[in-house]
Amino acid sequence: MENKDFKDRKLALVLVDIQNKFAYQTEGLLNGMSSRLGKVNEAIDLFRETGNPVIFVFFDGDGHCTMKRVENPDELFGGLTMKDGDLKVNKTQMNSFRDSDLAKVIKECGCDGIVIAGLVAQYCVIATYFGAFDHDICPYMLKGGIAATDENNVTHVEAICKTVTVDEIKENVHFI
């Protein structure tokens, strides 16, 4: 992986599993995603406005460790919408890169870095973060954009991964 400063990377926003089937599994996930929706939408708007890729990753099937049946499980969590120009990748594994087209889609967009937001921090989100390195893609977590079953898990994941804020993203050369 090329050693570049964050401000010089071409970034895609990767939204992992922000689907009803995960958001409604626990109160922690529901409250966590609800409270972070504004930050996630702010990042989505920034990427769309600047022509940088927005990629929604959808988990196909019931999912790992999901037990509660919810209405419209595969739909995006309320308050999120896909728009023309957004990209969609389907997956069946925790790591969004495994057995999917995510790496290919990111590279076809000319990107060498991703900013990740989504569910569930200690499962699919962190698996995707570390999976990016196997494809020479530099990952970052959106600070305030990931949710977990409880806040301690968010704190731990953000502590061990590189995080960026919306303001830091705005300083990237591809957003100015």
Across the chain, which has 176 residues, the per-10-residue mean pLDDT values are 89 98 94 97 98 97 72 94 97 97 98 98 98 98 97 98 98 93
User: What superfamily in CATH does domain 11-170 come from?
Assistant: Isochorismatase-like (3.40.50.850)
Question: What is the tens place of the pLDDT at every residue in 102-132?
Answer: 999 999 999 999 999 999 999 999 999 999 9
- Structural domain boundaries of the chain? 11-170
Q: Which amino acid is at 37?
A: L
Report which of 59, 123, 54, 126 is spatially closest to residue 90, judged by C-alpha positions. 59
Helix/strand/coil for 123: helix
CA 25 to chain centre: 18
Strands (E), the chain: 11-16, 54-59, 87-91, 113-118, 138-146, 163-164
